[in-house]
Amino acid sequence: MNSKVGCSSEPSGCIARISARHYGYRLALLRGLLVVTLLGFPVLRVPPQQIDMDALSAEEEFRWGVRAFQNARYNEAIMSFEQSLAHRPDVPIVREWLGRAYYYSGFYEPAIDVWETLIAEGYGHNRLANRIELIRASQGVGPETAPEDRYVVSAEINGRQADQVVFQRPTSVEPLANGSFMAASYGTHEIHVFDANGVVIQTLRGGLEGFNRPFDIARDRSGRVYVSEFGADRISVLDHAGRRLFSFGGRGIGEGSFLGPQYLTLDDEEFIYVSDWGNRRVSKFDREGGFVLSFGRPRAGFSGLSRPTGLVYLDGYVYVADAGNQAIFVFDTSGNYVRSIRELGLTRPESLSAYTGGRLLVANGSEIVLLDPERETVRRDFDLDQPPSKITSVQVDANGNIITADFDADKIMVLSPMSSLYAGLDVRIDRVNSDNHPEVLLEISVRDRSGRSQLGLGTPNFVITEDAGGILQGPEVIFAGHERSPVEAAVVVERHSSMAAYSNEIRRVTEDLLGTLGSNARSFVVGGEEAPGIVAARSESNSDKARAAAGGDYHESAAVDRALRLAVGSLIDSPAPRELVLLTDGAAKEDRFSSFGLQETLQYLHVNDVRFSVVYLESGIAVAELEYLVEETGGRSVYAFEAAGLAPFVDHMLARRTGRYVLRYVSAKDTEFGRRYIPLEIEVAHLRRTGRDETGYFAPLRF
């Protein structure tokens, strides 16, 4: 077991290591003075009785505490900062760092107490007050934007930029999981991919055949892209890289043919629905283009579609906008008419898309409407700088913004919640790696004030300043949590005596889980004994991990919180998405969180961006405490032997994207052989929102 894991679970075990480290540090300090002398720098000769040993010890402890913190050894950092303050209790920066170490250890209240005392003394008011406000407001993953919050324009992308036509007559936007989005340029027969800053990063033209009036875009879970071509009366299917695979449809009035296909949607089984303007119907196809059925013709109790436009699948039903009837019609997936939604001021409904809480975003002529289909009520909470001409698409992107396409005005608009523009971004510098100074690596996380990760940021969004000096422009982004990468996964096996009878099931489930994850995860196994430990490292085979998970000793104590903290301590070695899975029988146990407490465990998971999930070995079980952690961190709980297997559970793990970034830059600061504390600040700007954070670091000692 490495020292970091041991310190995360056994604070007392850190003391001996710290003492030994401090002895080595003092020896290194003397050697450093000798090196300075040999290099020709003057050495101040001070009589021994005039040396302030308290100041020297305080600085030594502070330096070690900062280095321990930057290596995610938070317990060691806390003890070093406390020892530094024992020598010099009046140093504000050490107290601020102590609060930071409490915070990252999941102990929010001690952190707030330290920071509020500093604020009362006139130190770091705005910075610390902002962090306290965010802690107080945090609720697990973060609440959804309140429905009454108004949206305002935060960015506009014009089709004509300078003397160049970038796009013309945009008909559709399709958000991507990494914060970027696709847009169909009807007028130039192209599809563009824009990054989160609105810059074109890829253009698709449909290969040798080309696109003919591309209208709408949809994607399935595998990354396939479906494009409706209004001019060619067909649907083209592209792979995830934009290469054409095949097309289906063709001009005609027969089943499976089109006369002006427009909008697309996919259901849970990935059947494709196409609104056919000329044939006044909706057609359903399988993912290979095989025709299944069509609907929308008149029948008893239903007068038929007139001008079908937008459509969306939601909760088992297909909603179809009809501009001719000024209504939205609801069908089941077999094409049976269910009901209509009328008389809500929908004069020209076009695009439909899913919003939170079972609601729909509707592009209604020159406005955006939020529709509650159950209550049949609408809200108009979208302020546009000027009335648009004709909105043909409205979608929610991965960052919680709303993207719209204005067909006649040749522009794409991004709208953001008004409260988020005023509140700004929540930016945290989590770790600084200066081991190879002057190269410095900065691990940061970026969220909005409700806790939603901000995805798709790049070099232009970051500005770094060291020691209040010159701005270091253009840090290199070497890791971005919005790009697909192997996840870090910890499997924790509860080792209460009630689990002893499940050794075969534990082995089978662990091997199945890790096998389904495959090369998409770096995993290890933690045994939840009285003294928890890593029983199978990342380097071991899945079969060895499964055997280790099923082995070990079982005890009457069920204090699983110690094992969870140990697992988190090892997960944070990497900036990759962090997943923690607990295997349990779900039996009633009162002491699961007796060592650290349920709320402190949640806070430790949350501040370190770890998602918690549960696999139950018995069906029909739901432990309230565990389900609370699952819900608040965005995880899932599942019965191990569901008919569908663990594949959907694993898919949820692998689909995760985070707002975590690692930036690399070259420092111009003199570290004074590793003894100088270098303050550091970062500012992040995106869509009229900014956020900043401050920290500092020591480079390694060099002699």
Chain segment 80-134, per-residue pLDDT in tens: 999 999 999 999 999 999 999 999 999 999 999 999 999 999 998 888 999 999 8
User: Is pLDDT above 70 for 23?
Assistant: no
Position 33 confidence tier, pLDDT thresholds 50, 70, 90: very low
User: Is pLDDT above 50 for 20?
Assistant: no
User: Is pLDDT above 80 for 265?
Assistant: yes
Which residue, among 74, 80, 128, has the nearest Cα to 604 in the 3D structure? 74
Preceding peptide of 308 cis, ω within 30°: no
- C-alpha 187: how far from chain center: 35
Grouping H, G, I as helix, E, B as strand and the rest as coil, residue 187 is: coil
Q: Which residue has the higher pLDDT, 387 or 382?
A: 382
Q: What is the pLDDT of residue 148?
A: 58
User: Is pLDDT above 60 for 298?
Assistant: yes
What ranges make up the beta strands (E) of 58-169? Answer: 151-158, 160-161, 164-165
Position 552 confidence tier, pLDDT thresholds 50, 70, 90: confident
Helices and strands: H and E segment counts in the chain = 14, 41
Q: What is the pLDDT of residue 49?
A: 56
Q: What is the pLDDT of residue 40?
A: 31
Report the pLDDT averaged over residues 142-163.
76
Q: Write the pLDDT tens digit of every residue in 486-505.
A: 999 999 999 999 999 999 99
Report the pLDDT averaged over residues 40-60.
64
What ranges make up the beta strands (E) of 239-357? Answer: 244-249, 261-266, 272-276, 281-285, 291-295, 308-314, 317-322, 327-332, 337-341, 349-354
What ranges make up the beta strands (E) of 77-177? Answer: 151-158, 160-161, 164-165, 170-175
Q: Write the pLDDT tens digit of every residue in 347-378.
A: 999 999 999 999 999 999 999 999 999 999 99
Q: What is the pLDDT of residue 147?
A: 46
Q: What is the pLDDT of residue 137?
A: 82
**Residues in a beta bridge with 319:** 312, 330
Q: Residues of 13-30 as b/e, b for ≥16 C-beta within 10 angstroms?
A: ebeeebeebbeebeeebe
Phi and psi at residue 619, to the nearest 5°: -80, 160
Q: What is the pLDDT of residue 2?
A: 38
Q: What is the pLDDT of residue 48?
A: 53
Half-sphere exposure of 644 (CA within 13 A, CB side): 8
Q: What is the pLDDT of residue 26?
A: 39
Q: The domain 3-137: what is its CATH number?
A: 1.25.40.10
Comma-separated ranges of CATH 2.60.40.10 domains in the chain? 424-481+659-696
The overall average pLDDT reported for the chain is 89
Which residue, among 421, 398, 394, 383, has the nearest Cα to 321 in the 3D structure? 394
User: Is pLDDT above 50 for 432?
Assistant: yes
The C-alpha R_g of the chain, in whole angstroms, comes to: 29
Q: Are strands 360-364 and 367-372 parallel, antiparallel or unpaired?
A: antiparallel
Comma-separated ranges of CATH 1.25.40.10 domains in the chain? 3-137
The arrangement of secondary structure in 151-421, i.e. its CATH architecture, is 6 Propeller (2.120)
- Asked if 393 and 173 count as a contact pair (C-beta separation under 8 A), the reply is yes
Q: What is the pLDDT of residue 561?
A: 94
User: Is pLDDT above 90 for 12?
Assistant: no
The identity of residue 227, as a single letter, is V
- C-alpha 520: how far from chain center: 17
Q: Write the pLDDT tens digit of every residue in 589-623.
A: 888 999 999 999 999 999 999 999 999 999 999 99
**Residues in a beta bridge with 431:** 443
Q: Which residue has the higher pLDDT, 11 or 365?
A: 365
User: Is pLDDT above 50 for 325?
Assistant: yes
Q: Write the pLDDT tens digit of every residue in 223-261.
A: 999 999 999 999 999 998 899 999 999 999 999 999 999
The identity of residue 269, as a single letter, is E
Share of the chain above pLDDT 90, in %: 78
CATH class for the domain made up of 487-654 = alpha beta
Q: The domain 424-481+659-696: what is its CATH number?
A: 2.60.40.10
Which range among 50-59, 162-171, 576-585 shows the weakest confidence by mean pLDDT? 50-59
